[in-house]
Amino acid sequence: MVEENKIPQYKKLYETLRRHIISGAYEEGSLLPSENELCAVHNMTRPTVRHALESLVQDGFIMKKQGKGSIVRKPPQDIGILSISGTSSAIGKPYLRTQILQKPQIKPWPELFHFDLSESEKDFGCIYMERLRFVNKQPVFYDINHIPNINLPRFTSRTFENKSLFEILRTSYQIEVRGGEQKLKALKADSKIGSLLNIKEGDPVLYIERKLFTNREGFNIYSTIYFNSEKHTIFGTF
């Protein structure tokens, strides 16, 4: 009878609540249904519900208070790239458009790469994609992503327009970002970056190199980001 049921219950509840919070079903500062109510509604026991809520706390979607309840926190709408929680919902949807400059394609790893690769990562190729993100029709965000091509069926044929790369990895492949490291600096835009981000050559841009660890052994995501901070800032909580 149970067949497609590979995803743990607490994770399904996590996804459900997360979706509801992001979509605005719960007011910021309001209370989630109590643990016992969630038990009844979703037909689980309290430890399972609490497991889901703990993940939501960890990702900054709720704050718990003993005797009170779970308070909806609604993580920053804008670019939460600096915090682990925000990475998937990096940009608030209403004002954001994502343009795929380079659809995901399988390539060998670059000769000169900013980070050291594990053997398993080297053996498999990498999936490469470039995106440009717009806020209010202004380009603010140019990112280059390298993802090891380890068991990601149909990945290159998926559509990423207005969808979070991390959301797809998490919901379709059960790959979750567990942490990472990053380097930041301010750079002068060269002609390519300048034209992509619609700023003058020589103007300052925020440059970020990131390596994101996931729950899958030897599976790291590598991103290079150029950010136009003329009218926007990168926001992060920790």
Partner DNA sequence: TTTTTAAACTTGTATTTACAAGTTATTGAA
Partner DNA sequence: TTCAATAACTTGTAAATACAAGTTTAAAAA
Q: By the criterion CB under 7 A, which residues form the site for DNA?
A: 8-11, 32, 34-37, 43-48, 50-51, 53, 64-70, 217
Instruction: Kindly state the tokens that stand for 32.
Output: 């989630």
SS3 (DSSP) at 128: strand
| Secondary structure of residue 194 in the 3-state scheme | helix
- Figure out which of the listed residues 9, 77, 156, 229 binds its own copies, where binding follows CB under 8 A: 229
Which residues, numbered 178-207, are part of the site for its own copies (CB under 8 A)?
Answer: 179-188, 202-207
CB of 125 to its own copies, least distance (A): 26
Give dist(CA 65, CA 63) in Å, integer: 7
The C-alpha angle 109, 96, 172, rounded to 5 degrees, equals: 50
Smallest gap from residue 160 Cβ to DNA (A): 27
Tell me the CA distances in angstroms from 31 to 48, 62, 173, one per residue in order: 19, 9, 31
Question: Per CB under 8 A, does 235 bind its own copies?
Answer: yes
Of DNA, its own copies, none, which one sits near residue 36, judging by CB under 5 to 8 A according to partner kind?
DNA
- 225 by Cβ neighbours in 10 Å (0-12 / 13-18 / 19+) ranks as buried
Contact characters 72-101, its own copies, x per CB under 8 A: ----x-----xxx-----------------
**Chain centroid to CA 149:** 18
Q: Please, which of residues 4-63 interact with its own copies by CB under 8 A?
A: 47, 54, 58, 60
Q: Which is nearer to its own copies, 105 or 118 (CB)?
A: 118
Distance, CA of 197 to CA of 110 (rounded, Å)? 24
Residues near its own copies, by CB under 8 A: 47, 54, 58, 60, 65, 76, 82-84, 179-188, 202-207, 217, 227, 229, 232-238
